[in-house]
Structure 1
Amino acid sequence: MPLIEQNLARTDDNSWKERETAVLCLGAIAEGCIGGLYPHLPQIVAFLIPLLDDKFPLIRSITCWTLSRYSKFIVQSLDHPNGREQFDKILMGLLRRILDTNKRVQEAACSAFATLEEEASEELVPHLEVILQHLMCAYGKYQRRNLRILYDALGTLADAVGAELNQAKYLDIFMPPLITKWQQLSNSDKDLFPLLECFTSIAQALGPGFAQFAEPVFQRCINLIQSQQLAKIDPTAAGAVYDREFIVCSLDLLSGLAEGLGAGIESLVAQSSLRDLLLQCCMDEAADVRQSALALLGDLSRVCPIHLHPRLQEFLTVAAKQLNPQSVKDAVSVANNACWAIGELAIKIGKEIAPVVITVVSCLITILKSPEGLNKSLVENSAITLGRLSWVCPDIVAPHMEHFMQAWCSALCTIRDDFEKEDAFHGLCAMVAANPTGAAGSLAYICQACASWTEIKSEGLHNEVCQILNGYKQLLGNNGGWEQCMAALKPDVVQKLARYGV
């Protein structure tokens, strides 16, 4: 540190390389040496802030990068003495550098600001107006390469502040320039990619506030998918060379619209050819297209399942195919989205899912019983979807429960408390009610799963769990089976079960 401080303190023009080296060194050691650096961090950050305005562009750019490496500390220090003042100086300093005349500095500042946004989240809200003014001023100046980074910074801002962005005074700053650019770019222009991604974050953040922009954006996505599917077969007729990235970005933006608008997207879907286009995309040979298509299938299942109905069984069959062992091995992210989409469909369409239940359940059992190391998200989604299928079709699933109950309950233990876990436990209770003797051999695992809740907020589900556990206590109490089960459990698990009256 003394050597670094010595180099940072040299302010003459001839020593700019030494200053740059010192700043680079501080950035390079930020993660690996954070423990040893911690006592010095306030001083380090204070040293760096003035260098954002250094005469030499390389120092300005490397300072942006180095400050971004300390973003977590900068945000964590907001409640410390001078912490907020320091945060404000860094925020304004990076915004000034976003408008730097040097392109390398612009790039470094924009990237650094996006990193700070991720850490700061709601702390950015009081500064939204000035942030948007600077970003959109840069939007009018930047060339193609740096525009991509600016889109990322704007999208990250939307992710960070969410619905706070949905105010007319903010929309008036950033939406008109984005819409103008959106209209200028042709359907074959690859500069659409980052703009589509940016709009995805904005649509999710604004929620219903995006409705005023939704129709042309929705229709453009449909047109892009249609033209690319034609280009795949006949580039001349399509007037474009096939590039599946257009399809992926369009599907992702449609997912953003579904998430943001909720049921408000229904009228747009009803008047479009989205259902048939989506089915084609779900069957695409490219994994990334299938992945985005199945995510959209799940989102549409939540908000307007009625419009999927005419081709429901085809969607279910295609999604189920993604869960066979070879497909899971080849494309785990596709399988993950397929699994989630089937679960979302199940709770909306009920027993209409029956034709694929056995096929899907057998695949989910394989996933749940796989050795450790399988994708954690896929295991969790498999446990939730298995629960949802059990909830809507307990008569079909319950006869097979002895093959998966233990692995399933172990997976349920790892899922955080939320509505998806509630759905899964409704399925657990429905199955046990349908076949209590079939689950008796896995009672210890069922107890551990029930104890994994911090709190079941649904009174109805809480009562169901009480009923199941008390039922087993009565069933097994006479022959000592219940006491034997309790003795096999850890004391903290037994203690948590007391909340269910056992």
Structure 2
Amino acid sequence: KRPESSITAFGGTAEKHPNEDDSDEDDDDEDEDDEEANEWSLRKCSAASLDTLAAMYGPESILPPLLPALQEGLSHADPWVREASVLALGAIAEGCVEAISPHMGQLHPFLMSQLSAADSLPQLKSIAAWTLGRYASWAVDQQMSGTQPDLLGKMTEAIMTIILSRNKKVQIAACSAFGVLVESTGELMVPYLEPVYRTLVQALSVYQTKSLKILFDTLGTMADFVGPSIGEGSLPSLYVPPLLALWNELARANPFDRTLLPLMESLSSTALTCGMNFQPWALETFELAMTMIESCTMILAGAEDEIDDEEADPIVCAADLLDGLVEGFGENFGALVSSSTRFAEYFPTVLHMLTSHDVPGVRMSAFALLGDLARQCPTVIQTALPMLLSEAILCMEPMHESVCNNAVWAVGEVCAKCVDNSGALAPYAEAILEKLIPLLMGNAVDDDGQIIGNVAGLSENAAAAVGRLAKCNAEFVTKDLERFLMGWCGGMAKISDKTERRDAFEGFILAIRAKPQCIQPTASDIGDTITSILFAVVTWHLPEDNLGPQLLSGPYSFTPFPQEYAELGQALISLLHDLKSSVGNEKWNHIEGIMPVNVRKLMREVYHL
């Protein structure tokens, strides 16, 4: 059995005997490389086992027997022994990084030297790059503390040099190591962005399929972790046009080329991060994404066999890229769509087609796009809203959990935009609520009638959607309020996004005010109902760093109600006082008696109960 481990495929890049060809020349056999990368070998199993042992038992148990072997191996005359020793050093990084740190002053320069040495084997360069990535946190600490203020610059320069190697394994290891470094450094990478992008663009012209995929991943990582600086000044003009040109070239030859997937993903991250600085290339990107959806849909429509998920991946990535443009451009996305002479008229139709697609992954991305459009640029979907809402309601069934989750979230975002126009939701409100109730109560069933149970994030999204529906018109949710009231409270208690949490509670208060009889003092479950409401309210006061059992009965550490939502806080105080009056002192005293001591104190001091 393979041990669970964080060791990547780069632990296997030296699967060669010393007498095999170890030149730095490129190799065109992609299939052979893929088979080798996927093969589970004794070497990979050994590295993964070291990783697991280090993580489980820590440096006290691992380093005493390992360090002597490492010291001997790293200084060995045989480069293959050195290579295996570097792999071992990288393998133990996760469990032993702090204990190894005192030795990194000598080990780090040694690893750097393996990247630049003229006689260094490609396999040794690869594994040295991977190991440097595993200890990236140490390098960041060195720079941040001022101990080695130029260390990141030196590392970046060294890695950029081998990124242009003609050996594919070195290319892949270098790109991956740089991606890990970027994840650790974030904005610290800003001073080096221009030479980095120039090098990566140069690599675009020489890399082949597998290396290109890793390179695109690295570009996406830079967008995700470095931040808006990647879009400043003339920087995007260095790397965005070559990416679009390569996309055009590959898509014309074969729109199902899987190299296009990470390319589109990297552009999605780039567009989102750059925002309006991406505008010079936005129209071309938009039309390339729409063309990708159009081309792949037409080809798949002519296929005799049923479409599988993998065949639809280009459509998924293109939809995600459109979503990146929506998030990057916000309300300006509407102007971008209008500027497309080819697709402006058909965009809502294409979106509807995506939401009704046979492949669940396409529908999942389509509803993410729909929700962001509702949130950022609702005018784009206004004409197609009836069709889009109908498809979303159909997909609010948890047989496909991610599709359902995104559909529920998208409906909630549509509801949030209809607060001042509840008439637009009136024809759909009953159907929406009927789909949301089982999700709140945790008793939704699959096609065979089996209860599906809890799905991560689903009750939270459902609770926010019901709250937003109630904010449009409380009567939309009051018909069966007592049926799902406790489930609604449970969902609200788990919402982490403060805006969604606020909307859920505001809608909840409106619903209770519209139908106060849903809480019957004589009902057998009145104590559970009130307790559910109180528990949901308490979640506004949870400290981020103290969620242990001592929170309820240990030292008092509840936080104040957020000042930015003070009006909601006052509304909750009023609601709780009215609930106390409605159930009577005897029942309330019983409820209060079973509260944890810190909850009683919170209710007294903040809610004056």
- The verdict on a shared fold, with TM-score over 0.5 as the criterion, is yes
Distance 2:205 2:93 in 1: 34
Distance 1:207 1:489 in 2: 48
Which runs of 5 or more structure 1 residues have no equivalent in the other structure? 237-241
Question: Would you say 1:470 and 2:580 are equivalent positions?
Answer: no
Distance 1:473 1:126 in 2: 60
Alignment partner, residue 198 of structure 2: 133
Secondary structure at 1:142's aligned position in 2? Answer: coil
Question: Would you say 1:8 and 2:88 are equivalent positions?
Answer: no
Question: Would you say 1:426 and 2:506 are equivalent positions?
Answer: yes
Q: 1:257 to 1:21 in 2, by over 3 A?
A: same
Deviation by residue 1:1-49 (Cα, 9 ceiling, x = unmatched): 1211221123x3xx11111111111222333555765665666545433
Task: Answer whether contact 2:240 2:281 (CA < 8 A) is retained.
Answer: no
Give % identity.
32
Q: 1:269 to 1:492 in 2, by over 3 A?
A: farther
| Residue 318 of structure 1: how far off its partner (Å) | 1.3
Query: 2:565 pairs with 453, 458, 470, which one?
Result: 458
Letter in 1 for 2:83: E
Query: 1:486 pairs with 586, 589, 592, which one?
Result: 592
Q: 1:47 to 1:449 in 2, by over 3 A?
A: farther
**What is the count of residue pairs matched by the alignment?**
489
| Residue 104 of structure 1: how far off its partner (Å) | 1.2
Task: Answer whether contact 1:336 1:377 (CA < 8 A) is retained.
Answer: yes
Query: 1:21 pairs with 74, 84, 94, which one?
Result: 84
Letter in 2 for 1:52: L
Distance 2:318 2:104 in 1: 43
Q: 1:386 to 1:199 in 2, by over 3 A?
A: same
Alignment partner, residue 362 of structure 1: 434
| Residue 417 of structure 1: how far off its partner (Å) | 5.0
Deviation by residue 1:280-305 (Cα, 9 ceiling, x = unmatched): 11111111111111111111111232
Q: 1:212 to 1:332 in 2, by over 3 A?
A: same
Q: How does 1:54-453 map to 2 (within 5 A)?
A: 54=117, 55-75=120-140, 78-80=143-145, 82=147, 84-187=149-252, 188-189=254-255, 190=257, 191-234=259-302, 243-270=311-338, 271-324=344-397, 328-329=398-399, 331-350=400-419, 351=422, 352-370=424-442, 374-439=454-519, 441=526, 442-453=529-540
Letter in 2 for 1:176: P
Secondary structure at 1:100's aligned position in 2? Answer: coil
| Residue 224 of structure 1: how far off its partner (Å) | 2.3
Alignment RMSD, CA only? 2.7
Of stretches 55-64 and 492-501 in structure 1, the one that deviates more from structure 2 is 492-501
Secondary structure at 2:358's aligned position in 1? Answer: coil
Secondary structure at 1:31's aligned position in 2? Answer: helix
Distance 2:106 2:375 in 1: 50
Which runs of 5 or more structure 2 residues have no equivalent in the other structure? 1-66, 305-309, 339-343, 444-451, 521-525, 542-560
Task: Answer whether contact 1:417 1:453 (CA < 8 A) is retained.
Answer: no
| Residue 333 of structure 1: how far off its partner (Å) | 1.0
**Which of structures 1 and 2 has the bigger CA Rg?**
2
Distance 2:260 2:585 in 1: 70
Letter in 2 for 1:414: K
Alignment partner, residue 93 of structure 2: 30
Task: Answer whether contact 1:162 1:204 (CA < 8 A) is retained.
Answer: no
Task: Answer whether contact 1:401 1:439 (CA < 8 A) is retained.
Answer: no
Task: Answer whether contact 1:46 1:86 (CA < 8 A) is retained.
Answer: no
| Residue 158 of structure 1: how far off its partner (Å) | 0.6
Question: Which consecutive aligned stretches of 4+ in structure 1 deviate over 6 angstroms post-superposition?
Answer: none
Q: 1:167 to 1:391 in 2, by over 3 A?
A: same
Q: 1:123 to 1:145 in 2, by over 3 A?
A: same
Distance 1:178 1:399 in 2: 54
**TM-score where L is the length of structure 2:** 0.74
| Residue 452 of structure 1: how far off its partner (Å) | 1.1
